[in-house]
């Protein structure tokens, strides 16, 4: 799914169909329009997001990759003072045609464990990983690896510890 904003989602096939329609409206022949649609679908399906550290360990970046090429802006890593592991949950409202506005009780709770870098003098951290609520050992192992890499303590806020 391509998420343009939280309320508007477009599937890759829908996006490709819209591009084919736009190409036809712009006067391209049918075969060229179909090739444009197929090419856009292929690019959309093979693009992937990622996060990485530089080899020297001083910079990081969020990137989008396509055919092994990574595009993203490198940023200096802020001072890390700890690795935090905690539970995070959000309520996702499920819209339906029977919705009664604010009285719509159709919602789903999505819970997960997050592992994040705690940044010095900041209330915001850098989320490094998301794990299933049923797999605390994986999240803990990942947090310990990060803490070892940055030589900082692990702060665990899991309720069962």
Sign of the CA dihedral running 13, 16, 22, 23: negative
pLDDT of residue 3: 44
The rounded average pLDDT for each run of 10 residues, N- to C-terminus, in the chain (161 residues) is: 45 72 82 81 79 82 84 88 89 62 64 90 87 90 91 86 52
How many CA atoms are closer than 13 Å to the CA of 4, on its beta-carbon side? 7
DSSP assignment of 84-152 equals EEEEEEEEEE---TT--GGG---EEEEEEEEEEEEETT-S-EEEEEEEETT-HHHHHHHHHHHHHHHT-
pTM of the model: 0.59
What tokens appear for 13 in the block? Answer: 């096939």
pLDDT of residue 84: 93
pLDDT of residue 5: 42
Query: Residue ranges of the domains in the chain?
Result: 2-46, 78-161
């Amino acid at each position: 799914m391509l998420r343009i904003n939280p309320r508007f989602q477009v599937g890759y096939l829908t996006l490709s169909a819209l591009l084919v329609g736009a190409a036809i409206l712009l006067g391209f022949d049918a075969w060229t329009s179909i090739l444009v649609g197929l090419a856009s679908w292929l690019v959309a399906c093979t693009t992937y997001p990622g996060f990485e550290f530089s080899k020297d360990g001083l910079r990081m970046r969020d990137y989008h990759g396509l055919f092994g090429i990574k595009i993203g802006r490198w940023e200096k890593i802020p001072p890390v003072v700890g690795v935090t592991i905690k539970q995070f949950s959000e309520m996702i409202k499920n819209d339906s045609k029977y919705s009664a506005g604010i009285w719509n009780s159709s919602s789903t709770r999505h819970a997960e464990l997050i592992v994040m870098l705690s940044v010095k003098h900041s209330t915001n951290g850098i989320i490094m990983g998301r794990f299933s609520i049923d797999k605390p050992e994986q999240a803990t192992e990942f947090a310990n690896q990060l803490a070892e890499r940055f030589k900082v303590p692990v702060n665990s806020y899991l309720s069962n510890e």
